Each structure stands twice: as C-alpha cells, then as structure tokens.
Amino acid sequence: MNALLPGEPLNESPDRMTAGNDRPPAVEILSAEKVFANGTRALAPIDLSIADGEFLTLIGPSGCGKSTLLKLIANLIEPSDGRLLWWHGDFGQVGQDGRRFAFVFQEPTLMPWARVDANVRLPLELANFAKAKAAPVVAEAIERVGLSKFARHFPRQLSGGMKMRVSIARALVTNPNLLLMDEPFGALDEFTRNKLDADLVRLWWERKLTTVFVTHSIYEAVFLSTRIIVMAANPGRIFRTMTIDEPQPRDEEFRSSAKFAAYCRELSTWLAEASLPLPSGGAS
C-alpha cells in the first residue's frame, strides 16, 4: 500500500477554502482503486479527504466511476487496492461510536405496503429501536421534509418528489453524520428538483451534515456544493476540483446571480474536457 498522508489529496487545488476545512476529515480515501472481476478498471487509485461538514459533489461523464466511488465510501463494495478510513477508523467501528451514515438511492426504494411513517421508521426498526421511543424521532424526521400531513399515506398516493422526501426522511431519522446521495433527484422535473435542492441545502446547513452527492446536473452541483470533484472516465479518476466558497445557506438569489452563472460556465467547460477521450485510450 503506497501511503499518502491523510488529508493531502493529490488532485486538489492548493487554495482550499471549504466550510469545514479546519475540522477533522469524515472520510479519507487512501489510494483506493477498484477493478471489477471482469477486468474493468472502474477507478484508478484515488486520494481524497472529505472534511467534516463539507458538501462534496461528484460529477462527470458516465463511466467515470462516481457511483463506484460513492459505493466505496458507503462500504457497499471493497477497494481492490488501497484503503478508506471513516473518522480515522475502520468501517467496523462506524455506528459503534455513535457516528452513522445514511444512503439515499437514485430511486426512493420505499416499501409500497407500508405507510410513510412506517417507511421512515424502518432503519430504527432494523436497529432494534423500541417503537414507542422511535415515534417522536420519526415524526420529527417527517416534519423536516414537510410531509407531516402525509404520514399516514401510502407511497403510491405520493408524487415522485414526495417519495424522494420520504426517502430523505428515512435517511435523516437515524441522525447520521454522513449523508451519501446517489443522483437522488435525477428522475424529477426541474422545478421539483430545485425545490428539493433548496431544502437539502438548508438541512445540510442546520444539521452540519457531511454530504457526498453524485449528480449529472451542473446547476445542482454548483448550487449545493462547497466542493465539486469533476471526474473523468477510462479509467475513472479525479479530473479537477472546484471550490465554491459562497455564503450559506444558499437560496434562490444565489441561483440567479452572475457568480452562479460563472461557476456553471467553468464547470461546464471542465466537464467537456473531462469527456474528451484520452489520446491513447479508446472512447467509452
């Protein structure tokens, strides 16, 4: 294992000005790489440190390994080489010292036979939480996402955006320190997506959640993030890093500002560059 000092990522620009810069890292990725069984090199060795309280977004063309990287962070898959640390420790200790993470999928993945409150209670039930003790926590999480009136509804009675809110409430109910989101709003219309983005930024700010977010949307990335990692494919790697040092929590005003447009333009250019095939390698 080629050890790189934790907190000294390779591809990061020297002018780090992220919000939680001075705090200890939540996740350290130390030369982790992923080669799948069929020989596909999904990720070249990556070094990245995710600071506590940071809103980090992974963006890039398809096949750049952003989802793979997120799954590594969630310990859903193991790195082929290199290692990851969570709060300076192994994954086994996550959850034992009160530090938890939650994952929000691309789809709401709700249980269709359970009402909203039962869906939100699920992670507590799986952790053997007493039902009576869970009730206020569940109610609070549902209120956070503005669905108190719909607590006794079934998922099929809700719109796509509302289902996604339930999924977020389910993630928040365990009071996680680290929130991992894999293109959670990708299937929603733009209006709903903007609304949920604004809610998410507020939640992140109020709860001091460390968030790792995967998206395809440039606007979403700029609006939400304190730092954006642009990734490139063949093999999946970090291409460039953009720091967005703007006042928090952000709102619609930021979305319509000239600065926002400038960030988007630059990010768009980078993405175009990241999508160019390597001179030596074939296109994906």
Partner 1 sequence: MKPLLQSEAFVRIAAPLAVGVVLIGVWEVGCRLASIPVYLFPKPSDIFNSLAHNGPSLLRALMVTLRVTLQAFAAAVVLGTLVAFMFVQSRAIEVSLFPYAVLLQVTPVVAIAPLIIILVKNTQLSLTICATLVALFPIISNTTLGLRSVDPGLANYFRMNRAGRLKTLMKLRIPGALPYFFGGLRISSGLALIGAVVAEFVAGTGGRSSGLAYEILDAGFTLDIPRMFAALFLITLTGVGLFGAMVLLSRLALSNWHESEIGAET
Q: Using CB under 8 A as the criterion, which residues of the chain lie in contact with partner 1 when the complex forms?
A: 74, 76, 103, 105, 107, 109, 111-114, 122-123, 125-127, 154-157
- In the complex, what is the shortest distance from the CB of residue 162 to partner 1, in angstroms, rounded to a whole number? 15
Nearer residue to partner 1 within complex by CB, 9 or 123: 123
- What's the distance, Cα to Cα, between the start and end of the chain in Å? 29
- Quickly count: other Cβ atoms within 10 Å of residue 253's Cβ: 9
- In the complex, what is the shortest distance from the CB of residue 122 to partner 1, in angstroms, rounded to a whole number? 7
- Quickly count: other Cβ atoms within 10 Å of residue 12's Cβ: 19
Type of residue numbered 175: N
- In the complex, what is the shortest distance from the CB of residue 113 to partner 1, in angstroms, rounded to a whole number? 5
Distance separating alpha carbons of residues 163 and 157, to the nearest angstrom: 9
- In the complex, what is the shortest distance from the CB of residue 158 to partner 1, in angstroms, rounded to a whole number? 11
Distance separating alpha carbons of residues 255 and 244, to the nearest angstrom: 13
Nearer residue to partner 1 within complex by CB, 4 or 118: 118
- In the complex, what is the shortest distance from the CB of residue 96 to partner 1, in angstroms, rounded to a whole number? 12
Nearer residue to partner 1 within complex by CB, 154 or 205: 154
Q: Is 215 exposed, middle or buried (0-12, 13-18, 19+ CB in 10 A)?
A: buried
Nearer residue to partner 1 within complex by CB, 179 or 198: 179
**Closest to 237 (Cα-Cα) out of 73, 68, 74, 105:** 68
- Quickly count: other Cβ atoms within 10 Å of residue 66's Cβ: 27
Nearer residue to partner 1 within complex by CB, 83 or 100: 100
Three-state DSSP class for 284? coil
- In the complex, what is the shortest distance from the CB of residue 180 to partner 1, in angstroms, rounded to a whole number? 10
Nearer residue to partner 1 within complex by CB, 170 or 250: 170
Sign of CA dihedral 74, 77, 82, 88: positive
